[in-house]
Amino acid sequence: MSNAEAKTGRPLSPHLQVYRWPITMTMSILHRVTGGALYFGTLLLAWWVIAAAAGPGPFSVVSWVFGSWIGLLVLFGYTWALIHHLLGGLRHFVWDVGAGFTKPARDNLAWANIIGSVALTILIWIVALVIR
């Protein structure tokens, strides 16, 4: 068997069919994306505060927008982005103190970040809807 025959069928470089993103890489990307999403969400928060200060008319418009199904969906996403970014920051803090650098520890922290952010977001929304 020649060298050329041995190489047939193998990919020339890693691609999506053979390369699997590590969970830590995924969390790094999500941390950056949620950080960017928080800028947009903070604009929505500022709109709400300004409308509250402007009087009942503007505040009722903002309340209507945020109370619509798409507004609630955006607020749910903002809540998740906030919690996910917070937990990602705590994960980085653990690394800053010099802990969690083994592969299992990194992976466990990354999974805890995603699972914790989803669970806490759902919990926060359940509590908010019950209180409402």
Q: What is the pLDDT of residues 63-112, one digit of tens each?
A: 999 999 999 999 999 999 999 999 999 999 999 999 999 999 999 999 99
CATH numbers and ranges of domains, the chain: 19-131 (1.20.1300.10)
Contact 65, 71 (CB under 8 A): yes
Enumerate the known binding-site residues for heme.
85
Contact 50, 56 (CB under 8 A): no
Q: Enter the tokens of residue 46.
A: 């500022």
Cα separation, 5 vs 109, whole angstroms = 44
User: What is this structure's pTM?
Assistant: 0.84
Q: What is the pLDDT of residues 26-57, one digit of tens each?
A: 999 999 999 999 999 999 999 999 999 999 99
Cα separation, 46 vs 1, whole angstroms = 69
- At 131, which amino acid appears? I
Enumerate the known binding-site residues.
85
Contact 125, 76 (CB under 8 A): yes
